[in-house]
Amino acid sequence: MAMMHTFCILFSFHLLFLTGASGSGIVGGKVSKPHSRPYMASLQFRRHHSCGGILIREDFVLTAAHCKNKNEKMTVVLGAHNISKEEKSQQWIQVASYHPHPQYTREVDYDIMLLKLQKKATLNKYVQVIGLPRKDGKIPANIKCTVAGWGITGAGRSSSDVLKETTEKMQFSFECRNKWKEHFNSSHMICTTFNRKNGGVCQGDSGGPLLCNSKPMGITAFTFKDDCSDPKYPHVFTKINFFLPWIKKIMQG
Which positions are catalytic? 66, 111, 206
> What distance lies between CA 86 and its chain's CA centroid?
23
Residues in Cβ contact with 24 at an 8 Å cutoff, skipping those fewer than 6 apart? 152, 153, 154, 155, 196, 199, 202, 228, 229
The span from the CA of 127 to the CA of 65, in Å, is 23
Main-chain dihedrals φ then ψ at residue 183, nearest 5 degrees: -75, -15
Q: Which amino acid type is present at position 180?
A: W
The span from the CA of 126 to the CA of 90, in Å, is 8
Name all contacts of 210-214 with Cβ < 8 Å and 24+ positions apart. Answer: 210/145, 210/146, 210/147, 210/168, 210/237, 211/145, 211/146, 211/147, 211/148, 212/139, 212/143, 212/145, 212/146, 212/170, 213/143
Bridge partners, residue 93, by sequence: 76
Residues in Cβ contact with 88 at an 8 Å cutoff, skipping those fewer than 6 apart? none
